[in-house]
Amino acid sequence: MRIATITNVAYVATVILTLASGVALFMASSADRAERNAVEQRYVLDKLTEEIETEAFVLSELTRSIVITPNADEIQQLKVGFKTERSLEKHLVAVKDAGASPDELLLLRDALVVMKELEDEQQAALGAVERGVAAEGMKIVFSADYEQQLDQAQYRFDHFRQLLDQRAQVAIGEATKKSQWLRSLSEIMVALTALLFLFVLGFIIKHRILRPVVTLSDVVNRLASQDYDVETPVLAQVDEIGDMAQAIRIFRENGLIRQRLERERDADWVTRNLLARMTQRLQGCDTRDSILKVVALFVPQIIPEMSGRLYMLDRRANRMVCMSSWLSPSGDDTPFTPDHCWALKRGQLHSPARDTVDVPCEHLAPDIAGKAICVPLIAQNTIIGLLTFENHAPEKEPPYTYLELIAETLALSLANQKLRDTLTERAMYDSLTGLHNRYHLEETLRTLLGRAEAKKSMLSCLMLDIDHFKRLNDTYGHEAGDQVLRETARVIQHALNERGMAFRYGGEEFLVILPEMNEAQAQTVASRLLMAISSQSLVYEAQEIGPVAVSIGIATWPVHARADNLIRTADLALYLAKERGRGQIVMAKSLAKEGE
């Protein structure tokens, strides 16, 4: 007989016994639940009757207190009690809903009738007090009849609880007895199940398992320690042990495959960690040079069997320029046009060795073009650059997914860096003139004033305004006015020669900050600017629109102004220059003279 036949019979018997044991346990649990329900019902009914009884005796004591010593607050409290008291019928319904028996309800109904009579007498006593005859009220609530009614109510409530206790004790006793019986039955069935299991287990071990298991134990132990070089024995017996031997052979083969997959998984995990770290570092880069350093550091670690280069697109020259390389790639890094690369033309990874027949890229040498891989760097449908890889292990499948992930991450990082540079430039520089804008002025001036204060030096400020700029705009048009602003800014930048900082302050006004210059030096720079600007001959669309004249106001810290009003003081000097006829320079008054 096969072991499966024996175990199947034992399994059916075990299932039957287990189900019977489970049913017995379920029924025992139901008995326990009935016991708990009886206790809970007893608690609920006790609580309800206690509330009713307490309500009656509280009103009684309050009435007696009133007839002895009338008190307006207590009278009002008693009236409120009468008004807010729930009807006796509601009390009875609540007790009935909680599960009281008919006999208990009948007894409780009698108690409620007595309570109603007590309430009527309490109201009569209260009426006597309100009429000013408290003696009559006292006679009512302190009479023997009133005391007898209180005793009757107390008796009925006590009798109700006695009946409730008796019923609860009977229910608890029956539930306990039933639960104990069912638990004993369940334990007997569990014991029978255990005996049957031990019998079948002993039979199988004695007749069919012991010897083959001893034979296979060493193999299993070695396989458990992941020693997959062990040879598995071939057992000829046609039963489960033979099937086990076959399974062990299959397990060994699967183990060998799993070992190989685990090694690949571990290598893949290391690669993923490196890729994640590279992504994190790229997110922290704020310049292109830092991005190139991160690429040169991480890419050779992520793909150690492939050398490569990183090219960036120079849009002005329309050339792909090599910016970085790693692991000494073959060939040279001569710039080339984007149309020489199939990856850039197609907008996706290009690997000629991936397919049987494909076209190599023209920018690569013929001896390496067949084993090279080109991956475009594209962000927001715009070509940013190119990654080229040279596969030094042709027998191994290149990690195309990681190549594309590297390219995607790098393209996004370069695009973000370019966007940051563009936003920074727009935030700090005027788009028309290329000078620093007004928003950058406050921080710069604060820094330069702090530096001048630390060095005990001076700082001068020139405010320039193009004379009759509105008339020039009206005569030649706003485009001609824009050209005048650009040319004026260019002349200012050239005349300063890195000795100061120029800002477009607004409209046709320019501001020049001259660190470490006193008023005499500032006067010299202003004169040079005045001459340089007025000597410019401006032409717009073959029409001469120059020369252009400017007015200049000068203020020097700390001679002419405090730190917080230096620009304002220069602006006032500019206003005086315009008032005096334009095309001239006005120096602000010193603080000492203003004080005089």
Residue type, 439: Y
Annotate 534-586 with three-state secondary structure: HCCCCEECCEECCCCCEEEEEEEECCCCCHHHHHHHHHHHHHHHHHCCCCCEE
Q: CB–CB of 67/75 below 8 Å?
A: no
The residue with tokens 């390389």 is 325
Give helix 102-131 / helix 144-204 axis angle, nearest 10°.
Answer: 150
Residue type, 52: I
Contacts of 6 (CB under 8 A, 6+ apart): 200, 203, 204
Measured distance CA(542)–CA(568) in Å, rounded? 39
Measured distance CA(498)–CA(510) in Å, rounded? 16
Measured distance CA(99)–CA(456) in Å, rounded? 97
The DSSP call for residue 18 is H
* Catalytic residue of the set 53, 390, 487, 508: 508
Give helix 469-476 / helix 478-496 axis angle, nearest 10°.
Answer: 130
3-state percent breakdown (helix, strand, coil) of the chain, nearest 5: 65, 15, 20
Peptide bond into 376 cis (omega under 30): no
Question: How many residues are given for the chain?
Answer: 596
Measured distance CA(556)–CA(522) in Å, rounded? 8
Q: Output the CA angle 281-287-293, nearest 5 degrees.
A: 55
Neighbours of 396 (CB within 10 A): 10
Task: Give the helix/strand (H/E) hosting 386.
Answer: strand 382-391
Provide the edge-to-edge strand list for the sheet that holds 306-314.
319-326, 306-314, 382-391, 372-379
Is 395 part of the annotated catalytic residue set? no
* Residues catalogued as catalytic: 508
